[in-house]
Structure 1
Amino acid sequence: MDWTPYIKDFTQYLLIEKGLTENTIINYQKDCEKLAAFYQKDILTPLNISSTDIQNFLYQYSKTHKARSQARLISGLSAFFSYLIVENYRETNPMDIIEAPKTGLKLPDTLSEDEINTIIDAIDLSHPQGERNKAILETLYGCGLRVSELISLKISDLYFEEGFIKITGKGNKQRLVPINLYTENIINDYLNTQRNLTPPNKGNEDILFLNRRGNQLTRVMIFTIIKQLAEKTNLNKKISPHTFRHSFATHLLNGGADLTVIQALLGHESITTTEIYLHIDKTKLIEVVNLYHPRAKN
């Protein structure tokens, strides 16, 4: 039986009902397609496949993939079969008795302020896209944006007089993020120079960051810009656009910001997601205990 109609309907459900991002939907779709391909010569369908069948598939998958990839796959399949139950295609979820492998705590990479300054200072401002690239990195670090939020940022989202920018995050949820005057000036420099000299193509008139052809930048392009700068500065770290977001949160926390405030700035639904930053610099935890606990004061 063809799995395709079920997988297609599932992706539509994730988009319309759940409001997930395109990348998340694509990953979930690939998870389902891997399971379907594994049993393509069998009579198993999304409606009759059992936990044992899925365990057999996961066992083979585990031979060539690490624990984190396995856990991600299990998450996608669990969502798929939960959807089938919602739509009354199945009564039970075969993933309920399957446990994801323990992946351990993965601490995000961060950059020091000096490292960030070194990377940004390495941008060639005489290059046609130099001012743009500087504005991109300053916005990532100054506002803690996801790369998807950065590339979709619009000029009409900039409320500089009020000191905020409007961000459309995961699930099309919007939030207001404060923008400091320094980052605001960098963006204005870009707007008044390179952005004004780049005729936008139809549909991109309001997009803030454009490529040299007047189109919206891609995620890959942002990754490429950062990778090239890391190589140029001989930075001995593997960094990405998300590294600047992690650095934003870590530097705020180390500066004394409340975790719930950082949660709101990052657009995290759960405080648990934000709590990972507590593990990055344990000296911060020690300082808090020594400062506020009655026994420490004694």
Structure 2
Amino acid sequence: MSHTIISLFELITKAKKHLDQLSYAESTQKKYELIWNHFLEYSDTKGQVYFSKKLGNEFLKAYYQIQIGKRLSASQVFKVRAITILSEILEHNSILICHQKPSKAAPQRFHNVLTKYEAQQVEQRLSKETICGKINIIVQFLHFLDKQGITDLKSLTSSEVLLYLNTLDKYSNQSRSGILFALRNFLLFLHSEEVTKSTLHDLFPVIFTQKNERLPSYYSTEEINSILRQVDRNTEFGRRDYLVLLLAIQLGMRAGDIRQLKFTNIKISQNTIEFVQQKTNKALQLPFTNELKCALADYAKNSRPQIDDPHIFVRHRAPFQPFANGNSFHHILNKYMKLAGIEINNRKHGLHSMRHSVASHLLQNNTPYPVITGILGHENASTTKLYLRIDTSTTNCCTGGSE
């Protein structure tokens, strides 16, 4: 990527303006400016006028004894962030969201073909999450090929593909199946685009899946209530966290749908929440309970940053904008699980585990399968039944429609 050539001094001046425009606290701006001043002094001693990541890393090591890749303290992370901001301004003319690790990039030589593959997936109208998952899998495969000395995919043979398959033993059967599906799809794309001559996707025409291999994680009503009781709703973050947890616990909403939720999705007069699911692109209508109304009102009035953005949930520090696509609110649930003393016992403990728990609680209350399917927003009941393997005691009486 070509950049406009500007001096390090000009780049830092530009970064300062961005911090101010994004409403960073004055104290935070001063901390960044101090680090950048030290960086300018260091670059002068090295006779360097222009910024580079290499120069930035050398400065961090020489001035602050920071080694990139090592475990860092909070203070060291801030100093690394100061250099990262300069890189972001130079490359994107903007400051990206803090603490959101970008997906590992593919080797440069494979960028073009990966971009074409991603564009094809978009044309097929797959959800962003599905495409992102596929790309992450393919990127790992491309890094493996890079290490094997493959510089051009036209020279790819079955030997390299089979060698890569041997590295997948560390994954569960279900995860391995997902990787194979994505890989086969990519190899089919390569052949259709005449990048490869051989039909390498035929190496695994049948992929066995074992969806029943692992039971969905489930938390009892007592455990969930204990989690909610740990939230201090008198604090800025507590009000936000409580609303996030309620949407997951009461309605079984996916993290992506919570993240993308907008005020226009709330239909006050109808007491409903209506949105298009990010994963399936299907519309879903859920009840907007009194408890949710109170939680939303409390958060919007007393905690949410007062910015002009349609999303309900936004970052609570600059830059004030919606959460990045990769944010699954995992840290929120885990924080209160620890405070509640919940024993994980090999159970999954992300926000999606609350979705499984909602399904099980509905089943325990003799809710018919079709109703549970509708609440969860599944396209068919077979998916719902996979969720409900956690509770077979009441299955026989819940397979019919509502009376």
TM-score normalised to structure 2 length: 0.62
Which stretch of the first structure deviates more once superposed, 34-43 or 69-78? 34-43
In structure 2, the CA distance between the partners of 1:44 and 1:274, relative to structure 1 (3 Å rule), is: farther
Question: For each residue in 1:177-207, what CA deviation from the matched residue of structure 2 results, as whole angstroms up to 9, or x when unmatched?
Answer: 2214234323443355325x6212x5xx111
Query: After the TM superposition, which residues 156-171 of structure 1 pair with which residues of structure 2 at under 5 Å, given as runs?
Result: 156-170=264-278
Query: After the TM superposition, which residues 85-100 of structure 1 pair with which residues of structure 2 at under 5 Å, given as runs?
Result: 87=193, 93-98=199-204, 99-100=206-207
Which stretch of the first structure deviates more once superposed, 31-40 or 89-98? 89-98
Cα distance in 2 for partners of 1:184, 1:18 equals 32
Cα distance in 1 for partners of 2:328, 2:364 equals 31
Cα distance in 2 for partners of 1:281, 1:84 equals 43
Tell me by how many angstroms 1:139 deviates: 1.0
Query: After the TM superposition, which residues 271-286 of structure 1 pair with which residues of structure 2 at under 5 Å, given as runs?
Result: 271-286=381-396
Tell me by how many angstroms 1:224 deviates: 0.8
Tell me by how many angstroms 1:264 deviates: 2.9
Q: Is the Cα–Cα contact under 8 Å of residues 118 and 233 in structure 1 kept in the other structure? A: yes
**Cα root mean square deviation, aligned:** 3.1
Identify unmatched segments of 5+ residues in structure 1. 293-298
Q: Is the Cα–Cα contact under 8 Å of residues 164 and 176 in structure 1 kept in the other structure? A: no
Aligned match of 1:26: 132
Query: After the TM superposition, which residues 61-140 of structure 1 pair with which residues of structure 2 at under 5 Å, given as runs?
Result: 61-84=167-190, 87=193, 93-98=199-204, 99-100=206-207, 103=210, 104-140=212-248
Cα distance in 2 for partners of 1:92, 1:253 equals 50
Cα distance in 2 for partners of 1:122, 1:110 equals 19
Aligned residue among 341, 350, 355 for 1:240: 350
Q: Is 2:313 the partner of 1:212?
A: no
Question: For each residue in 1:222-256, what CA deviation from the matched residue of structure 2 results, as whole angstroms up to 9, or x when unmatched?
Answer: 11111110000000024211111111222222222
Aligned match of 1:227: 334
Aligned match of 1:264: 374
Q: Is the Cα–Cα contact under 8 Å of residues 366 and 397 in structure 2 kept in the other structure? A: no
Aligned match of 1:250: 360
Q: Which has the higher contact order (CA 8 A, sep 6+)?
A: 1
TM-score normalised to structure 1 length: 0.81
AA in 2 matched with 1:211: R
Tell me by how many angstroms 1:63 deviates: 4.8
Tell me by how many angstroms 1:221 deviates: 6.7
Structure 1 runs of 4+ with >6 Å offset: none
Cα distance in 2 for partners of 1:167, 1:84 equals 36
Aligned match of 1:38: 144
What is the number of residues matched between the two proteins? 285
Question: For each residue in 1:141-168, what CA deviation from the matched residue of structure 2 results, as whole angstroms up to 9, or x when unmatched?
Answer: 2221110100110001101221321223
Cα distance in 2 for partners of 1:264, 1:88 equals 43
Q: Is the Cα–Cα contact under 8 Å of residues 359 and 388 in structure 2 kept in the other structure? A: no
Which stretch of the first structure deviates more once superposed, 71-80 or 226-235? 71-80
Q: Report SS of the residue matched to 1:129.
A: helix
Q: Is the Cα–Cα contact under 8 Å of residues 141 and 244 in structure 1 kept in the other structure? A: yes
Tell me by how many angstroms 1:208 deviates: 0.8
Aligned match of 1:296: none
Cα distance in 2 for partners of 1:152, 1:230 equals 24
Q: Is 2:109 the partner of 1:5?
A: no
Identify unmatched segments of 5+ residues in structure 2. 1-107
AA in 2 matched with 1:212: H
Cα distance in 1 for partners of 2:184, 2:371 equals 32
Cα distance in 1 for partners of 2:189, 2:162 equals 20
Aligned match of 1:55: 162
Q: Report SS of the residue matched to 2:285.
A: strand
Q: Is 2:255 the partner of 1:147?
A: yes
Q: Is the Cα–Cα contact under 8 Å of residues 265 and 273 in structure 2 kept in the other structure? A: yes
Q: Report SS of the residue matched to 1:95.
A: helix
Larger radius of gyration: 2
